[in-house]
Structures are given as C-alpha cells and as structure tokens.
Amino acid sequence: MLLSLLLLILAPGRQPAGALPKALLLLEPPWSTFFKGETVTLICKDHRLVAWESVSWYHNGNLLKRQPGELEIKKSGYYSCKTQRSSRSDPVYVGFLTDWLTLQASHPVFEGDPVVLRCRGKKEEDIMEKTYYRNGEEITSDGHYKSNITVYPPFDDDSYHCTASREYFWSERTETSKPVKIQVQELFPTPELTASPSQPIEGSPMTLKCETWLPPQTSRFRLQFCFFKERQALGFGWSNSPELHIPTVWSEDSASYWCQARATTSRIMKTSPGFQIHVQRVSVSGVSLETEPPVGQLIEGEDLVLICSAAEGTGTVTFSWHREGSVRSLGRVTQRALSAELRIASVREQDAGRYYCAADNTDGPILSKRVRITLRIPALPPVLTLRAPGAQAVEGDVVELRCEAQRGSPPILYQFYHENIPLGNSLAPSGGGASFNLSLTAEHSGNYSCEADNSLGVQRSEAVPLSVRVPASCPALTLRVPGAQAQVGDVVELRCEAQRGSPPLLYRFYREDIPLGNSSAPAGGGASFNLSLTAEHSGNYSCEADNGLGAQRSEAVSLSISGLAGSISGPIATGITGGLFSALVFGVVALLLYCRRPRKAGGRPTSEPSRSPADSDAREPTYHNVPTWLELQPVYSNVNPKGGEVVYTEVRRGHQGDRPAANSDSALLFWTHLPSRSQAASHRPADPQGSSVIYSQTPAPVHMAHTSVPSRESSGVGAGTPPICAELLSGGSPHPREETHTFQQRHVRTSD
C-alpha cells in the first residue's frame, strides 16, 4: 500500500493558468526505491536548465534548507524543490526499504515513455532467476534470468511485481516483491485557452493563446497547436506557435473558443476547456467629410472623391453621401471600416454646392458637417479684339488690345504678344477680360495674340493681324527730260514719290494747280506721269500723294522750255526777222530812189554815186530822211531762258568827223545776225572799233521790235539783262544833231 502511494504522487497536478512553470525534481540514480543505508542525490531543474543558484528544498512539505546545486538524502519521505524561475515541483516519495527483494521503476515516466523495471535483491549474486508480472500475469522476458525489462504502460492503474529464486542454505527459495502501481506523468498539462483582450471591442484585434508546457527533460518533443471557434478551425490548422492573432473581430465573432495541443513523434493530444468570448460593439461618432483634392483646389473635369470617416465605431457601418437640395443620396456603401469613399467623375460647374455624409452601425445615422465644394475652371482660349479710334489703324493712334476668356476662374493674367514677342500683361482679379493700350508706329504691323493664365493652364488666342496705315509723307517731285534741256516736243517724266506712306498711294500731278492726271502705286513707292511738251507747258509743277489718310502736296518745281526764240517762237521770230529784213530791203530801195532825185538847195547832188557793199564794210553809210512809212511795229514774245534764242539788236553810232558835214541828218542801217541754235550768246559778232552797242529801248517816235528776256530768277539769264529791242527812225528825226546809228540784230541761245 505504501509503495502504491509512492508512485501515485509522481503524477503532476495541473498548473494554474498564468503561474510560473513548475520545477522538476530528479533522482540520481533514477529509481524510485532504494535499500536502507543507500544515498540518493536530488537534482532540481526548472524549464530552462539545472538550477545552480539558490534552491529551496522541501521535505514532507517543510522547508528543509536553501542550498544551490544538489542535495543528498538517506531518509525516506516526500521531497520537492523550487527555483527563482519556477514554482515548487510536485513532491516525489523516495523510500529506503529493509525488504530483501524490491521492484524498481525508472524515474520519471511521462506519457508515451517506456518504463524500465528492475527486480533487485539485497544480494544480487544469490539470485538465480527473476520473473516479472503485470496484474498477476507473467510478462515474457528476454530469456535472461537476471536482466531488466522494459514495458510501455498505458496511462492506467496496472499493478506490477517480480519474483526471484535464490539459494537458501541447501535449498532454493523464492522471494516476492511488493506490488507497484506505475503512475505515468503527463507529458504536458492539459492546455488552457486565453484571449487578449478577454472582452475585445468590435473592430479591434484579438490574440488567442493555448497555454501548456513540456517538462525540461522532454526536449525531444515538440508541441503543436490548433485553435477552434465553436467547431470551426481557425487560421491554417496546426501550428508550432501557441498563439493565434486575429486582426479584427466583429460582433458576430462572439462565440466559444478552444484549442488543442499535441506532441510531435507522439500520439498524445489534449484539448482545452471552452472559453466564451463576447465582442463588444461601439456606436459611430465623430463623422466628418473630406474631399480629394482638398476644398478650393478642385478643377473642372477632374474626379471628386468624397471621404466619409468616423472617429469611433465598430462593426458594419453604412455610409451615405448627400448634396443639399437633393432628396436622393449620391451613393451608399456598407462595410466593416470607419471610412468610405465616393468618387464623382468629371465634375462640372453645376456640381458645385454643399455636401455632407452620414454613418450608421445600427444605432442611427450620424451626420457630418457641410462642406462647400467649389470648382476652379480652367481658362478657355481667349478672344483678342483690336480696337482702333477709326476704321483703320493709323500710325500715331492708340489701339486697345482687348483679351477676354469666356470662361475661367479668376484671377486671370493676360499676356499680350506681337509676333510672339511679349508686349506686356494685365490682370483681371475678378475675371472677365483685360486691355492693353499700344501707341502705333509703322513697325507695329503684324500678328497679335494673347494668353490667358489662371494657374490652371495657359491658353493662347488665335492670331489677329493688324496693318498699321502710315499717312503719306510730303512727296518729292522730279522732272526727267531726255536731254540736258527741256524742249518742245520732248516727253518729260514727272516722277512723284513719298518716302513714307502705306500703299496703295494715288499720285496726282498739277501744272499751276491745274490737274494734269494721276497715277497709282499699289505696292507703295513712287509713280510717274509722262507729258509731251509744248510751248504752253512752261510753268510751276507739283504733285500730291494720297493713301486715304490725307493728301500731301509737294513743293512747286519750275519748268522752262528752251527753243522759244528759234523754234518755240518760230512764227514770231520768223515774222520779226522777216519783217525787219523786208523793211531793210524796202528802206534801201527807197533810199536809192531818193538819192537819185535832185537835191534841194543846200543839199548834195543827185548824181552822187551810191556806195558799193565794199564801201560799206570800210565805212558806215549815211542815210537821210527815212520815210515814216518805214517804221516797224514792235513784236513781243516770251523767251525761254533755257536753251532759247535771244535776239540782240546792235545800234552803232558814228562820229561827226567820219562823214561829210553836209550829211547832217541821221540814217539807220540794219544787220540782222541769226546764229544757229547751237551757238551761245558769247558768240555774238565783235563790235566794230570805235562804236558802242546799246541794249536799250529808245524813246518815241522811234519804233522798236522788242524781244522780252525773263529775269535771272525766272529764266536763268544774268540779272539785269534788258529786253531786246530794234529801232526804226522815221523821217523828220527830232534829234537836234546828226548821228549815224547802226542796228545789229543777233539771236543768241541762252543756257542755264
């Protein structure tokens, strides 16, 4: 009975959940019973290793001593130990017996371990044969009569004993041991399931732990674990970890949980008791609405994301989104989360407004605050308008460049360009358009454009052409003749050109402010007008340039036509010359007839011979009483100073001493020199010696032939050049003294 109790206490008790692992008491030698007088060494071991630090030793429940390392004993009793890292071990009974034969079992014995049985006598050498029995039945041995045997006892109350035959004096005697019940220790305690937290909140994580342990001396084993919710396995089944982490639990996860533990290389499996877990639900609160992109940064055409969030709340939450003024919700979603999103694709200007959301987890909807959604609208391509004071843009005008985008969120910055070169910018803080004023010059013609930028993208307008009209400048008139001098019959080119002025230009030509004609210059520049000259075309010429912006008149240019005395005044000059020559001939004939008549008293005889032409070369003839009918009427005409012929009339006066005194009356002799047109005035015949040339108009009753010569300013002839005149003296000269006058008429071409 005592031995049965001894082995029964070898089964460890269940370790309280959360307590330190129990220490393990080992025996050396590893048997449970000894003969009296033998010594046994006790070894205390915790879950890590042999404890060599301070160990508390107990005997029959009382503290025996504190001693590190090991403890040797020789006294029967219940022994236990405790280390700093473990709780007190289960008690082990160590017996010191006085019997001759005893059955020893190996210590300790765990579930599934083999048990070595040794039948031992006080005098082993006297034993001849050993026999082992289980529950009264012999156990087959290995045939060796002195050997130990190994058994695999089930976890039950089997009883074992042994017998030994030995010599007793001269006979054989059989010894029998006391029966032993081998109580196998648990390989590991029955597991217990714990949860952390034990009352989780819905939506929070939870960790399950299957608590058990293996004794240190069973390091050859490994434990595996499996967790269950009701009858459903959790996770991935069997695992080497004694813990299972559940990220999120919900109210429907409230249930009974349990776990199993099993040892590898063994069929020992144990199940924990069930553990009821109640998941608590938290009502939603702190509902808010956010937008992506943030408020004030949403651009028309982008997607708007409405994010509804709850600060607190567990379980399944239903989110809904709403817009003020709309009965129906924009969207609804139910999920196990504290936030949800609603995407509105490609928002437009009409989507602006006040939005809010609601969250509900069966305790009623909780609303968020209202959020005003505004859209930033990118600027459309602007329209550029050019505004000039008049119908046309004229140099010097101030033109207004008006740039306006029909849509676009303010502020809008407008940039103005001329041929892609920036001119300046203008800001429209409240939207709309903006203007830029430009004072026009000729260089401002070209293409204009503008840009609208409200930080959402730059938009360029279409190019608008502008042609700056430049008023015509005062033109310059040039007269071009074929030769050096303008003559009758020539075709003169009147060239009028304004240095500045936008085409087309219309040129008008004038003579003495009388229009002659016009000519157009479509591409600008000058224009010409051809004129075939006649005698009447002398005078002042001018021209006008007109491009619709105001006519400009040139300065007057004088044109004098040569050949008026020779060719231009053909009939006149010829008439004068012919008349003079005819008068001369007629006068000579009259004088000759007169000289043949008998003279009056005091006169010369009529028989005086006439003078020959040779005599006239050596000596000037003297004529008297020129008839009054011989007088010539004066002829007047304008002489072209440029290249025209000037008629000179030369009057010679002889001295009284050079002719007879009887010739007291004066007479005139005419020579008319008509040089060719190419001769210059300087080629006039030389004056005879002792005579003088008078260029003057003689007083009446002398009759003259006049040829008027323009002044230096108008004709180009030297200043002070008098009119050309020719005198004919009629009979009955009023002069008080006799003089001899000789007239020479010369035609000399003048030049500039």
The DSSP annotation for 447-458 comes to: EEEEEEESSS-E
Rounded CA separation 145/142 (Å): 8
Answer left, alpha or beta for residue 432, where phi above 0 means left and psi between -120 and 50 means alpha.
left
The amino acid at residue 126 is D
User: Based on the number of CB atoms within 10 Å of its own CB, is 498 exposed (0-12), middle (13-18) or buried (19 or more)?
Assistant: buried
List the domains of the chain with CATH numbers.
24-181 (2.60.40.10), 285-373 (2.60.40.10), 382-466 (2.60.40.10), 475-559 (2.60.40.10)
Residue 121 · residue 144 · CB < 8 Å = no
Q: What's the average model confidence in pLDDT over 481-505?
A: 90
| One-letter identity of residue 726 | A
Q: With helix as H, strand as E and coil as C, how does 136-170 read?
A: CEEECCCCCCCCCEEECCCCCCCEEEEEEEEEECC
**How far is residue 722's CA from residue 706's CA, in Å, rounded to a whole number?**
10
Residue 270 pLDDT class (50, 70, 90 cuts): very high
> What's residue 48's pLDDT?
62
Taking the CA of residue 430 as centre, how many other CA atoms within 13 Å lie in the half-sphere pointing to its CB?
0
515: left (phi over 0), alpha (psi -120 to 50) or beta: beta
Distance CA 426, CA 706 (A): 81
**Rounded mean pLDDT, 266-276:** 90
**Is the overall model pTM greater than 0.75, yes or no?**
no
Report the C-alpha gap between 361 and 366 in whole angstroms: 9
**Lowest-confidence segment of 9-23, 226-240, 436-450 by average pLDDT:** 9-23
Sole residue written with tokens 């044969």: 129
The mean-pLDDT minimum among 338-352, 495-509, 647-661 falls in 647-661
Burial of 109 (0-12, 13-18, 19+ CB in 10 A): buried
Report the C-alpha gap between 366 and 359 in whole angstroms: 5
pLDDT at residue 655 greater than cutoff 70: no
Residues with Cβ within 8 Å of 130's Cβ and at least 6 positions away in sequence, in order, are 119, 141, 145, 146, 147, 162, 163, 164
Can you tell me the distance from the alpha carbon of 267 to that of 224, in angstroms, rounded to the nearest whole number?
12
pLDDT at residue 267, as a whole number: 79
The pLDDT of residue 720 is 38
In whole angstroms, give the CA distance from residue 330 to residue 348: 15
Q: Between the CA of residue 69 and those of 46, 95, 220, what are the distances in Å?
A: 12, 22, 24
3-class DSSP state of 634: coil
Q: Which of 103, 264, 288, 268 has its CA nearest to residue 180?
A: 103
* Secondary structure percentages of the chain, helix, strand, coil, to 5: 10, 40, 50
| Burial class, 423, CB count within 10 angstroms (exposed 0-12 / middle 13-18 / buried 19+) | middle
Window from 91-100, 147-156, 489-498, 506-515 with minimum mean pLDDT: 147-156
Q: Residue 582 has what DSSP assignment?
A: H
Question: How much of the chain exceeds pLDDT 70, in percent?
Answer: 71
705-736 pLDDT, tens digit per residue, is 333 333 333 333 333 333 333 333 333 444 44
pLDDT digits (tens, 9 = 90+) for 51-100: 667 899 999 999 999 988 789 999 999 999 998 888 888 888 888 888 88
Q: Is the dihedral of CA 345, 348, 351, 353 positive or negative?
A: positive
pLDDT digits (tens, 9 = 90+) for 28-43: 999 888 888 899 999 8
What pLDDT sits at residue 737?
41
Query: What is the DSSP secondary-structure string of 365-421?
Result: -EEPPPEEE--BPPPPPPEEEEE-SSSS-BTT-EEEEEEE-SS-PSPEEEEEEETTE
16-22-26 Cα angle (round to 5): 150
Question: Span 500-523, mean pLDDT?
Answer: 92
Is 609's pLDDT higher than 80? Answer: no
Q: Return d(Cα 671, Cα 180) in angstroms, integer.
A: 198
| Per-residue pLDDT at 751 exceeds 50 | no
Helix (H, G, I), strand (E, B) or coil at 534: coil
At 688, the amino acid letter reads: P
Mean of the per-residue pLDDT values of the chain: 76
Q: Are 344 and 306 in contact (CB under 8 A)?
A: yes
